[in-house]
Amino acid sequence: MSKEIKRDLPILSLHVIMALTSLTARQIRYYEKKGLITYHRSKGNQRIFSLNDLDELVFIKEMLESGESIKNIQNYWHKHKNMQQNLTFKTISDQEAREIFRDEMMRDLEVGKNKLD
DNA sequence: ATTCTGACA
DNA sequence: TGTCAGGA
C-alpha cells in the first residue's frame, strides 16, 4: 500500500471545508461558478471536496486577499494547466504549481504597486 | 439535517 | 456577499 495520501479523493463536506478555510458557502460556490475550480458531486448533487480542492481554495483565498482579481487567477490557472500538459518529462505537483504561481502573482502585484507610486 | 440553485426587499 | 425561498 502506498504511503502517499490520496489527495484527489473527494471525501470532505462543504461544512468541513468552510471550517478549514474560513470561507462562506456562498464564496466556495461562487469561485466554482466563475470557473476558478471544479468540485466532485455526490449522487444528491452535493459538492464533495478533496484535499487538493482544499489546497486550491486556500490558494484562491490567499490570492484574492493579496488583491488579485478573479480574472487574473483564472489566467494563471490556465497557464498552470498548459504547463502540466507540456511537461511530459517532468511531473509537477499541484502544490508546487501553486507555489510557483503565487510567487509569480506576488511579483506582478509588486510591479503594479510600483506603477501606482 | 444539509446542501443546492436562483434571485434580490 | 449576505440571505431567503423552495426543492432534493
**Domain extents in chain A:** 14-116
Å between CA of A46 and C1' of C5: 19
3-state SS, residue A77:
helix
Cα–Cα distance for residue pair A35/A26, rounded to 1 Å: 15
Of the CA atoms within 13 Å of residue A4, those in its CB half-sphere come to 6
Nucleotide with smallest C1' distance to residue A29 CA = B4
Selected residue with higher pLDDT from A97 and A116: A97
**Burial class of A106 by CB neighbour count within 10 A (0 to 12, 13 to 18, 19+):** middle
Which residues make up the interface with nucleic strand C when CB must lie under 7 A?
Answer: A 24-27, 30, 44-45, 64
Nucleotide with smallest C1' distance to residue A18 CA = B3
Query: Is residue A116 over pLDDT 60?
Result: no
Nucleotide with smallest C1' distance to residue A33 CA = B5
For the A14-116 domain, the top CATH level (class) is mainly alpha
Tens-digit pLDDT profile for residues A37-46:
999 999 999 9
